[in-house]
Every structure is written in C-alpha cells, then in structure tokens.
Amino acid sequence: MVGPTRPQFVLFGSSIVQLSFSHGGWGAILSDIYARKADILLRGYFGWNSRRALQVLNQVFPKDAAIQPSLVIAYFGGNDSMGPHSSGLGPHVPLPEYIESMRKIVIHLQSLSEETRIILLSCPPVDEEKIRGNQSQYLSELVRTNELCQRYSDACLKLGQEMGVKVVDLFTALQKRDDWMDACFTDGIHLSAEGSKIVVEEILKVIKEADWEPCLHWKSMPTEFAEDSPYDLVAADGKTTLNPSEWTFYREHHWD
C-alpha cells in the first residue's frame, strides 16, 4: 500500500475489462478522470464467464479486507452468451445459470460494506460479420450473435432492477451511433477508443445521477494535496502562483 488512502474503484470482469487500459480504453480514461481522487483497480480476466468469476469471488473481494472498494463496476455476459460447443467445453453459460451467477456476485459485493456501490455493465452488441471474417485457425468457430447478446443484456438489466443495482445498458448505448459497427470495436467484439468513450459517458451519467452518499462523481470528490503552494507555477503577474490541482484543459475530451 501507498498513501494517502484513496477510495478504490474496482473494474471486475472479462476481456472488456482486462483490455480497458488498451486502445484508449475506458479503464484508462476513468483513471485519468479520477486522478488524485480515486484509485482505479483492474481485475479483468480475458475469456472468463460468470462461472469462473464465482470461483474467485472471495479471493478478489475478501470480506475481511481492511479497505473495501467504494465502487465495483462488474461485467460478465459476453462469453456466457456464446453459443454452446458440442464438446461441452468453452465459456457458454445457460441464461438461467448466468442470471443466478450474477445474482450471487451482486449479493457478495453488497455484503462487503454499506458504502460499496455497484454498477453492472450489460452485454454489448457485436459485429457478426467482422467476427466471421476474423476466425482464428487456433480456435473452434465462435458463435456470437446479437440475438444472444441481447438476451443476456436484457437479463442483466432485469436483474439490476430487481436487486436495486445500477446497470449500464451497453447493448443499447453503443448502437446509438449510426456507424457503431465500424467505430466501436477493434475486432468486432472488443472496444475501440470510440467505443470506450461511450462506456465512460454512460458510467459517469449513472454516477452523477445516483443518490449515493458520499457522491462518487469526480467533480464532487476531493482532490489529493490540492492546497495552494509557493512552489506552484508563477503567474503572469510575477507575484502569485497558479494551483494546477484541478486543471483539465489537457484532456482530449471534457467529461461531465
């Protein structure tokens, strides 16, 4: 551990999470937005489904940890929603089991602390044509369709409503762009920089509108070591200094 202790935001999920610091990803963007305000911790596992998440849940989120996360953003469903393989192997998880697995994950996260907040990300759409064109010689055929993605996305949304948990509807959000298939993915499945911007916008919208105490929106959180200092950059008048603690002009996108 290094100090001072900041609120922890944990990103927990499969490859959409593991790759969230690549390609201008949404995890990296959140780390920038919450610089000096919260620590963004990555717990992403390429290829995982909700079954594997349950197997390690107590290790990733031990109930006896001295510090519990202020926010967990969890995503599973894309791999679960893949069509079943004839061998019985592979990441597919039947929809009823997926729903119960996500329910167990939410219950565990809710038990960590009264102040641990949860946001679920629903299954995003895919570019089916691009997936078919990118088939690897090392993998059996990937059965990923938007019909399946929508079923698992809808189930996640319904579960969130039932349990009083915030859910970002990625299936709908990404498709609001007319060119979503070209703009939002690197390979038809994983998010490009443009796709990640949409994810960040939706997450920030949920955080801003949530009735959480304390508020976890970046503009409402204190900035670490934000006091004025004679060691700050000298202003044009040559007599005062300028405190850069809250500067955001360097960002390519100005977030609300």
Which positions are annotated as active-site residues? 14, 187, 190
Exposure string for 139-157, b = 16+ CB within 10 A, e = fewer? eeebebebebbbbbbebbb
Helix, strand, or coil (residue 9): strand
Residue 193 amino acid letter: A
CA-to-CA distance for 71 and 38, rounded, in angstroms? 10
Q: Do residues 215 and 221 lie in contact, with contact meaning Cβ atoms separated by under 8 Å? A: yes
238: left (phi over 0), alpha (psi -120 to 50) or beta: left
CA distances from 40 to 8, 31, 179, 231, 246 (A): 6, 6, 30, 28, 18
Distance between CA atoms of residues 211 and 25, nearest Å: 27
Cβ neighbours of residue 217 under 8 Å, at least 6 residues apart?
204, 207, 208
